[in-house]
Amino acid sequence: MITRAVRRDGGYVLNGAKMWITNGTIAHLAVVWAKLKEEASGRDEIRGFLVEKGTRGFSAPEQKRKHSLRASVTSELILEDVHVGEDSLLPNVAGLKGPLGCLSQARFGIAFGVVGAAMACFHAAAEYSRSRVMFGKPIGSYQLVQGELADMLTEITKAQLLSVQLGRLKERGTVKPEQISLAKRNNCTIALDVARRARDLLGANGITAEYPVMRHMCNLECVKSYEGTHNIHTLVLGEAVTGIAAYR
């Protein structure tokens, strides 16, 4: 984290930049996490700040030319000597606990959402296998195609069950961040695999806008990375199993 905050004139001055911020261009309020040097200890501490749109020195240009999540406004936040008041500092939270708490909520939703994308790809492939005729019969009558559909259905069903159990744990208030990481990691991986298999089954039709598969596949490429990459969640689970952090 290179964005920094310093105390000045009854408030704080922020300098730095944030990349890949959803809705950053259209939002009226941004939550910015920055390193702030604590006067008592002299050490840097991560703190959150509220920055209003229109504040001098604050801009949020939109990221263009994307091949994934094209319907989503993605932005860069640029802070150049942005002065905010004392009341802009988020109270009662310091360190990574604050932003990571928000990430757990987002990752929980992603674990469910990608299953829906996988289901859409599967249903498109299954329907296509019944209507596409090759050598005088539907391609769904061939063993290799049925094998692909069976594998896709199995992985989707496992992801659905994992999501349901995760939801139950969350309702009870007993869900752990590591369990959310497990679901996010697994479901994103199988959803992308299902989309790729469906695209392959549809052949050249799989890349056209007539079918939803290519759109889902491109979006899932991004979803697999954001809110924690596949590798980061692998290390989260590794630490949960062994008790040893291996992030460095």
Q: What is the CATH number of domain 97-242?
A: 1.20.140.10
Q: What's the farthest any 2 CA atoms get from each other in the chain?
A: 80
How many C-beta atoms lie closer than 10 Å to residue 93's C-beta?
Answer: 14
The string of pLDDT tens digits covering residues 146-185 is 999 999 999 999 999 999 999 999 999 999 999 999 999 9
CA distance 51 to 123: 44
pTM (two decimals): 0.87
| Domains of the chain, residue spans | 4-88, 97-242
Q: 4-88 adopts what CATH topology? A: Butyryl-CoA Dehydrogenase, subunit A; domain 2 (2.40.110)
62, 155, 227, 239: which one is catalytic?
Answer: 227
The string of pLDDT tens digits covering residues 189-216 is 999 999 999 999 999 999 999 999 999 9
Tokens of residue 109, six digits: 């939703």
Q: What is the pLDDT of residue 95?
A: 84
CA distance 109 to 131: 34
> Does the active-site annotation cover 227?
yes
The string of pLDDT tens digits covering residues 17-50 is 999 999 999 999 999 999 998 766 678 899 999 9
> How far is residue 46 from each of residues 21, 101, 228, measured CA to CA in Å?
18, 14, 19
